[in-house]
Amino acid sequence: MRKSVYLLLLLLISWQSYGKGIISFKISKPVCLLTFLLTARGNPDMSPSFRAYIYNNIPREDSTHFFQIVKEFSTIPLDYDYIIPDYPENRKWPRTTFNLISVAAVQAIDVNDFMQRIIGILPNEQWVKLKQVFANTEPLYDKMIGVPYAQATKKQLAALEKFNGKTDSIFNELRSFYSSSWSDDIPVTVSIYPIPGTKDNTTATPHSNSIVLAVMTGEKNSAMSVSKAIHEMCHVLYGEQGLSVQQRLDSAFLQNKSIYSKYAYGYIDEALATACGNGWAYKKLSGEQSAGSWYANEYINGYGHAIYPLVAAYIEKGKALDKAFVDSAIFLFEKKFPKAIYSYLNLLNKVTIYTDANDHEQFLSIISSVKHHFQMHRFYGTYPISDPQSANLIDQSDETQLIIVHSNHEQNFKLLKNKFPQLKNTPVEKDGVYSFFDDKKRPVIIVNVKDVAMLDAALSMMAKTKEMDPDRIFTPLN
């Protein structure tokens, strides 16, 4: 009998150590505090409804303290970029210190463990400031959200954990579809944080093997929440494809002769994640297809729906992404969006931006204005326009060129006329938007305004007209 009990205990320990599978769900206090602070300071990747909730529910007696905390947090730089060399140019996506910090937040046991994990990522001065900000934030967070919604959050966690067996199976099928180099030795942890309410917009972000997922405290459709987490896992699987796989798919896009290939390539990561996560995975989890929009972007949603049957067929047959898939995806993109080559929304998806910002703060303000009107998936920005580095980038960049002239007009247009013969006979003293294809077949958009205060009006006009006119270079700002 003792031997049987001992054997049973060994089996139980073995199951606990090795039977948890690849994907697990948890609640992490560091994630809750970090997302609370990021939302409060207006980070564009966070839920605007959560921000509204925070500001509408700050206890009056804590408001001064709260604003001081947010102000101090906003002074701490968390995001430094670095790029892994050798990968295809179109697949080079900057990795950031914020990703490392987010991984630590998801994996940490508590706040103290989190702070220990990020030693060395930030300068010590900033680390000390962040530790104090977290210490000041925790009591306020607990008062507003942590304690009142503790049971509701645990209930949401339990609902997600019911999908554990299915999520591992889905992950393995998607790993094969992507030909990702993901190892069984690397578990994926999904850490949730609560947003009070029943139904509103939530966000999720991938950070290597750590996913941050917002969940409404009154959420009824847990399968939808899990599918959002899987959407983010797809971004990780795409990013962790081996070098040879990335080179093969990159060549497939570049060798395709369609003028739409570069745009189909620019959206493929999001479109695949949408078709796989919000489409295929959601159906596997819930037993039915998700109706309506899958993504709050016209191109990503439309492209994701368009390639969904192809994606589902590949996964069900155990096939991996290949040249035939790429060629079909480009064709489907062209069929779905025949006017994409003129659409501002599409052209600004991947863009190089030039401005005459006075300093980095004004530069960020200008970028924020562009983001308010157009969703940019990948962008690079530089200032001032006349700087030799900026002028050199105009010659070398392959992306859409967005040039915002709000000062030094005479000097800037002298430079631009030398770069773009298309401007030779156009008026440069009027406020408006110039749009054309240059000699390299690149889309060029020049926003010309008297001062930066008029930028929003020009961007609004672009958003309203939606497309550049191939027969007219200049559109005045009325």
Q: Residue 22: CB partners within 8 Å, gap ≥ 6?
A: 167, 168, 171, 172, 184, 187, 188
Cα–chain-centroid distance for residue 55? 24
Q: What's the pLDDT score for residue 443?
A: 95
Q: What's the pLDDT score for residue 45?
A: 82
Burial class (CB in 10 A: 0-12, 13-18, 19+), 432: buried
pLDDT band at 3 (very low <50, low <70, confident <90, very high): very low
Q: Say if residues 423 and 434 touch (Cβ distance below 8 Å).
A: yes
pLDDT band at 227 (very low <50, low <70, confident <90, very high): very high
pLDDT band at 430 (very low <50, low <70, confident <90, very high): confident
Q: What's the pLDDT score for residue 20?
A: 60
Alpha helices in 323-440 (DSSP H): 323-336, 344-347, 360-373, 388-396, 409-419
Domains of the chain: 20-163+188-216 (no CATH), 242-338 (no CATH), 344-476 (3.40.50)
Instruction: Note the pTM of the prediction, 2 decimals.
Output: 0.89
- From 37-41, 174-178, 429-433, the region with the lowest mean pLDDT: 429-433
pLDDT tens for each residue of 296-307: 899 999 999 999
Three-state secondary-structure class, residue 401: strand
Taking 90 as the threshold, does the pLDDT of residue 370 lie above it?
yes
Nearest CA-CA partner of 107 in 165, 26, 182: 26
Structure tokens at 113: 């463990």
pLDDT tens for each residue of 112-144: 999 999 999 999 999 999 999 999 999 999 999
